[in-house]
A and B are shown apart, each in its own frame.
Chain A
Amino acid sequence: MPRKKILAVDDSETTLLVEKTILGPTFDIVTAASGEESIGRARVEAPDLVLMDFEMPGISGAEACRRLRAEPRLRATPIILVTSHSEADCLEDAFLSGFTDFVIKPIDGDELLVKVRGYLDE
Chain B
Amino acid sequence: MTAPSARPLEVFYLLPAGLAVVDGAAPRTMMTILGSCVSVCLWDRRGRCGGMNHYLLPRRGPGAEATPRYGDVAIPQLVSKLLALGATRQNLRAKVFGGAHVLPGLPAGGRSLGADNVAVAIELLHAEGVQMISEDIGGTRGRKLAFNTVDGTALVWRL
Contact = CB atoms under 8 A, between A and B. Distances in A.
A15 interface: no
A121 B57 contact: no
A54 B1 CA distance: 53
Interface residues of B, number: 27
Contacts, number: 62
Contacts of B31: 88
A115 B113 contact: yes
Which secondary structure dominates where chain B touches chain A?
A: loop
Contacts of B57: 110-111, 114
Contacts of B102: 76, 78, 100-101, 119
Given A100-B102, A118-B112, 10 more contacts: A88-B31, A91-B33, A91-B142, A99-B142, A101-B102, A102-B16, A102-B35, A114-B57, A114-B113, A121-B106
18 contacts: A76-B102, A78-B102, A86-B16, A88-B13, A88-B33, A88-B144, A95-B35, A95-B159, A101-B102, A104-B17, A110-B57, A110-B64, A114-B57, A118-B103, A118-B112, A118-B113, A119-B102, A119-B113
